[in-house]
Structure 1
Amino acid sequence: MDQRPVAVYAALDDDLGPGIATLEAAGFRVVVAGSDEPSDLAAAAPEAVALLVGYGRVDDAVLRALPALRVISLMSQGHDNVDLAACTRADVQVAHLPPVATEEVAVHAWALSLALVRQLPFYGRATAATWLDRPRFAPRRLSDLTVGVVGTGRIAERYAALARGHVGSLLSWSRSGRSLPGTASLADLHDLAATSDVVSLHLPLSGETHHLVDDAFLAAMKPGSWLVNVGRGGLVDSAALARALDSGHLAGAALDVLDEEPPSPGHPLAGRDDVLLTPHVGWFSAESERGYAVEQAANVVAWLRTGAVTHPVS
């Protein structure tokens, strides 16, 4: 009988090969369930001590389905999909990733910002029949613009560094009051919204930040400005953003994350000409894909060898 500890993968669409190799080399038997459903996880690996998960919900139902579970390893830095209180009650450690894709996400956010400022989504649709068409909001001169950065973590700092020297001015805001190098720190979030031509969101999702961008925030934004979100979809009230776009108050938005992924056909931000959507790929590169898989597995290996994960969720 195989006595190796069992690690089970939930629904993950990425290349699991490097992670599986890391786990097997450490002595695990690896099962790929390919599902976030508790019943599927229980059927695939009822004896699993480790669960490797992407964005699937981890709650009491999952913990009951895997009674031997002792460690959960996420494939992101965010952990809003995990019921941490339930895991604490069940004596299950939760690990997240170190900053594997800081550069990728910051570059993605900056690329989205430039695409909005230069109205690339509009011009990218131009054909011979519409060659001379012009967008409702003309492209802007980058050096005349003010960019507001919401959040002051590693990705926000890298984004600000990319923008520095190219834009007219840089503003920042954080809940902690920390300022970003080379930016003017504002104490009031709505003041940042009111004075920025581009607002870029770089915050984790929590009870405090859920729907941070609501009707009031959007009303405070400058007419003809743009919103960029590479943080978490729940930071933005999608219905409120759709209303701000419908009214013509905002020039557009670029989003790598949504409150519903993938968006349903009736999602208020799907299929709009004034919204540039990318499918949660800001983190993605050849280097980061391997790094994510290996680091996720490494947390589980550390638990097996030492009894504690390397990057615990605090």
Structure 2
Amino acid sequence: MSSKILVTGADLAPQALALLTGFEVVYAGKTPQEDDLVALCQQHDPVAIIVRYGHITPRIIEAAPSLRVISKHGSGTDTIAREAAQARSIAVVAAAGANAAAVAEQAMALLLACAKSVVQLNERMHAGHWDKATHKSVELSGRTVGVVGLGAIGLRFARMADAMDMRVIGFDPFAKALPAYVEPVALNDIWRQSDAISLHCPLTPDNRHMVNEATLALCKPGVMLVNTGRGGLIDEQALLAAIASGQVAMAGLDAFAQEPPPKDHAFFGNPRLVLSPHIGGVTSDAYVNMGVAAAKNILSALARVPAAA
């Protein structure tokens, strides 16, 4: 009988499946909930889980006695109960860098949409208006962008910003051997010096709500904020207050504290917010890259981690 791999999604790239021919792959569907995943683990007892959607909780881990590796179909592992996995010596691995190009491009698209009023001008044009005589956008060339998180995604975004003649400052306590176009600074200097800020760090207990009332007050009036990382990095009520006061001119967000946000969320309808549904890493190329990386990570981890007795 083949060992089983549970995918918390409805599909996996054919290129990834080709690497997993020795396993039976079980799909949880597009929107798996905790109870669904617990039931599937109890039914199939997978040796590995590929995490596409939803959270992997201690209950889910407990329901899979043969589980040896949890592989993220992406770069962030904050949706996985790492302590529960560690307690059972279950490897937790991520497809680091597999979606770097996709997410960095989304971050730049959001920054440009904020600076150039792309959404508002599009809506005005479709409504029959011609605002050439009254509208002025922001020129990014010569301005300072602060990049928080200098992994594969943050550095790729920084390289694009540098190519646009922006001054790039960055903060990442774990980054080493930074390229010449990134000027390392303290986190408080990111807030104080940046005309635009882009978040590219994982969510941890230490940086939850790193963008808050106090840090936003340190920023230049009219700063632009982009988040393609995790919604929990931002205190959403503090951001709304800063937008209302003009302290934040525009924000482009691809991640939210609750996903999807409730239908009555105060973000909706705010003309100073450009929103996308956490799709920064969702491209055809990234889908293949992340699937292949997730599959390879499983094979590598299974080769290292001994089977349970």
- Report the TM-score range of the alignment, normalised by the length of the smaller protein: 0.7 to 0.9
Say yes or no: does 1:53 pair with 2:48: no
2:26 counterpart residue number: 31
* 1:43 corresponds to: 39
Equivalent in the alignment of 2:184? 185
The 5 Å alignment of 1:227-246 reads 227-246=225-244
Residues 13-36 of structure 1: per-residue CA shift (max 9 Å, x gap): 55444433432x2x1112112264
TM superposition shift of 1:269: 2.1
Cα gap change, 1:180/1:137 in structure 2, threshold over 3 Å: closer, same or farther? Answer: farther
Q: In 2 relative to 1, CA 220–132 (structure 1 residues): closer, same or farther, beyond 3 Å?
A: farther
Residue aligning to 2:203: 205
**Any conservation in 2 of the 1:257–1:279 contact (CA below 8 Å)?**
yes
Matched, 1:20 2:26: no
Structure 2 gaps, min length 5: none
Deviation at 1:206, TM superposition (A): 0.5
Secondary structure of 1:171's match?
strand
Number of the residue aligned with 2:108: 110
Report the Cα offset of residue 86 of structure 1.
0.8
- Distance change in 2, residues 1:241/1:38 (3 Å): closer
**How many residues get paired?**
302
Sequence identity percentage: 33
Distance 1:200 1:13, change over 3 A: farther
Deviates more, 1:161-170 or 1:75-84: 161-170
Distance 1:36 1:109 in 2: 27
**How big is each residue's C-alpha offset from its partner over 1:293-314, in whole Å with a ceiling of 9 and x where there is no partner?**
122122223344x2349xxxxx
TM-score (norm 2): 0.88
Range moving further from structure 2, 166-175 or 48-57: 166-175
The 3 A distance-change label for structure 1 pair 225 and 95 is same
Partner of 2:202, secondary structure, is coil
- CA deviation string 1:172-194 (max 9, x = no partner): 2223475552233322x233222
Provide TM-score, normalisation by structure 1.
0.87
CA contact under 8 A between 1:193 and 1:217: conserved in structure 2? yes
Displacement after TM superposition at 1:230 (Å)? 1.1
Q: Which residue of 2 aligns with 1:312?
A: none
Corresponding residue SS for 1:203: coil
Could you list the per-position Cα deviations for residues 29-56 of structure 1 after superposition, in whole angstroms to 9, with x for gaps in the alignment?
1211226444423433332222121242
Structure 2 Cα separation of the partners of residues 146 and 245 of structure 1: 20
1:241 Cα deviation after fit: 0.6
Q: For residues 146-185 of structure 1, what are the alpha-carbon distances to aligned partners after superposition, in whole Å with 9 as ceiling and x for unaligned?
A: 2121222222221111111423522222234755522333
Q: Which consecutive residues of structure 1, in runs of 5 or more, have no partner in the other structure?
A: 310-314
Distance 2:271 2:72 in 1: 34
Given that residues 8 and 48 in structure 1 are in contact (C-alpha distance below 8 angstroms), is that contact kept between their aligned partners in structure 2? Answer: yes
Worse-superposed segment, 126-135 or 93-102: 126-135
Moved over 6 A (4+): 134-137
Q: Secondary structure at the match of 2:109?
A: helix
